[in-house]
Amino acid sequence: MRDVLRRMARANRPHLHTLTPQQARAAYEAGAGVLEITPAPLPRVEDVRIPARDGHALPARLYAPRAQAEGALPVLLYLHGGGFTIGSVATHDVLCRELAHQAGCAVVSLDYRLAPEHQFPTASNDAWDALQWLAQHGASLGLDSTRMAVGGDSAGGTLAAACALLARDAGLPLQLQVLIYPGTCAHQDTDSHFAYAHGLVLERAGIQWFFDNYVRTAADREDWRFAPLLAHDVEGVAPALVCLAELDPLVDEGVQYADMLRMAGVPVELEIYKGVTHEFIKMGRVIAEARQAHAAIAAALRAALGTSPVVDK
């Protein structure tokens, strides 16, 4: 991890928060695969469209470890990170391929709409619309909508946590929520936000820039869809796997949310990966903890969804 940080410093590329959103998206996408593992080959990868409540067709990508004709597969709706401003299906392609491969389930990765063009609560609405659509129409894609999970990293983890709460309220059963270093607090004022504010991939100024793009008013920060820690009641939500990075501004709020779920009687598996930073999940070529996290997430999905890993031939 230290070597990654040194190489990033030597590259001396501009911080994303000093760029326009469009420039930041291009820069993030250009570097997204540099530290990734080799993409897992899958027999079925196809682009699909999922309708949002306003009629917009949301791009998504379906990954499946077997052909549609071989039977319905349970599904994970995956929501990428990027501060609601950057990131895409493309930037998280390798991760979603690996999860489908190891977990033996389908993964649907969603291109929800990004800020500042689409501010709060558009991303949350898009994610929830996609989850509901999969529950109602997943069979048309060869999916078993009775066995579903939702997950994401960073901002995508925030969206996944919100979806789990909305699903509970709507009576939509989920078997698991996978929260990878999720944002859960309203004001980024925990100790870790100050302890790890600089020099560790995700910086305080960058977080502020992301959220300035996303929120419309101060009141948006007090909405539990932005800050799940503000939810009045989390009892009865789906069991959670919470994967955190030790050297991350978001680590404290991740622990706090896991504790909040546990106090409400929700089964929680919490793992804090030592010595790594935000974004480590996408650094599997050089960071062993990323590969360990892939395996842990896949194992949790297999246990929750009743699947088996793909056997390499």
Active-site pick, 17, 92, 101, 278: 278
Both tokens assigned to 133 = 């659509």
For tokens 């600089």, the residue is: 198
Active-site pick, 154, 192, 193, 294: 154
Query: Known catalytic residue: 88?
Result: no
Nearest to 313 by CA among 142, 101, 69, 143: 101
For tokens 């793009």, the residue is: 213
Cα 166 from Cα 176, distance rounded (Å): 14
Query: Known catalytic residue: 278?
Result: yes
Work out the burial of residue 223: count CB atoms within 10 Å of its CB; fewer than 13 is exposed, 13-18 middle, 19 or more buried.
middle
Three state DSSP letters for 173-209: CCCEEEEECCCCCCCCCCHHHHHCCCCCCCCHHHHHH
Nearest to 106 by CA among 58, 145, 154: 145
Active-site pick, 111, 126, 129, 248: 248
Contact yes or no for 65/310 (Cβ under 8 A) = yes
Query: Known catalytic residue: 109?
Result: no
Cα 82 from Cα 154, distance rounded (Å): 7
Q: Which residues pair with 76 in a beta bridge?
A: 107, 149
Q: Which residues carry out catalysis?
A: 154, 248, 278
